[in-house]
Chain A
Amino acid sequence: QVQLQESGPGLVKPSQTLSLTCIVSGGSISSGGYYWNWLRQPAGKGLELIGRIYTSGSFNYNPSYNPSLKSRVTISLDTSKNQFSLKVRSVTAADTAMYYCASSSALANWFDSWGQGTLVTVSS
């Protein structure tokens, strides 16, 4: 199993853009066969899938986004650094949450490896 580690600012001002990166180790994101996902969890609440991205190594497929966030979210890959990223635009307090990156098999989208999570607070 790969290891994943999120990084990024813990505090973002309202209306600004939240940017996070997930560094993958113990395997190549270009090897194919896995989706690279972002999820979030507000304090004391359940989990929400934000979106996912896939690369076969030779081709980066278009990301898939949760319709609830699609208009504000971008997920991208940097295969040279073996990492993928999340941007959420125009954030509000409702975007305050623990953000996780996770991997899932391209055959079945359950999440087999998770990062430890990073808390992002939206506040002025």
Chain B
Amino acid sequence: EIVMTQSPATLSVSPGERATLSCGASQRVSTNLAWYQQKPGQAPRVLIYGASARATGVPARFSGSGSGTEFTLTISSLQSEDFAVYYCQQYNEWPGTFGQGTKVEIK
């Protein structure tokens, strides 16, 4: 099973600032990597797939990069609605596996 590791566990950011979240894979996953946002009491929502493609309706302030084992999700200017938990998921090998999440909180 591919282990996904996210850092940091918690990121404290002021509104309007840039947030950079990292995700590492224990094996190469090419660009078969997705990012999800989860708010309290809600199901996850896909933001990014294919490591860098924004899902339908996702604002342009969200961007993804990376390939192989190292990936990054960047939120260029945090809005109030962006404070949430973010998960990365590899789907290169079965079963798809998720990182433990990064909580983005208001500084």
A binding-site residues for B, Cβ under 8 Å: 45-49, 51, 64, 66-68, 100, 102, 104, 108-112, 114-117
Contacts and interface: CB of A to CB of B under 8 A. Distances in A.
Nearest to B43: A114
Contacts of A117: 43
A111 B95 CA distance: 13
Interface string B34-72: 101000001111100110000100000000000000000
SS class of chain B's interface: helix, strand, loop or mixed?
Answer: loop
Q: Which of A48, A68, A102, A109 has the most CB of B within 10 A?
A: A109
A49 to B, nearest CB: 5
A110 B34 contact: yes
Given A110-B34, A110-B49, A66 B95 contact: yes
Contacts of A111: 34, 36, 44, 46, 89
B83 interface: no
A47 B46 contact: no
Contacts of B99: 46
Contact of A110 (B1, B43, B46, B100): B46
A46 to B, nearest CB: 5
Given A49-B97, A68-B1, A109-B91, 18 more contacts: A46-B99, A46-B101, A47-B89, A47-B98, A49-B95, A49-B96, A64-B94, A64-B95, A67-B95, A100-B43, A108-B32, A108-B50, A110-B46, A111-B89, A112-B46, A114-B44, A114-B45, A117-B43
Contacts of B45: 114
22 contacts: A46-B87, A46-B99, A46-B101, A47-B44, A47-B98, A64-B95, A66-B95, A67-B95, A108-B91, A109-B94, A110-B34, A110-B91, A110-B96, A111-B34, A111-B36, A111-B44, A112-B46, A112-B55, A114-B43, A114-B45, A115-B43, A117-B43
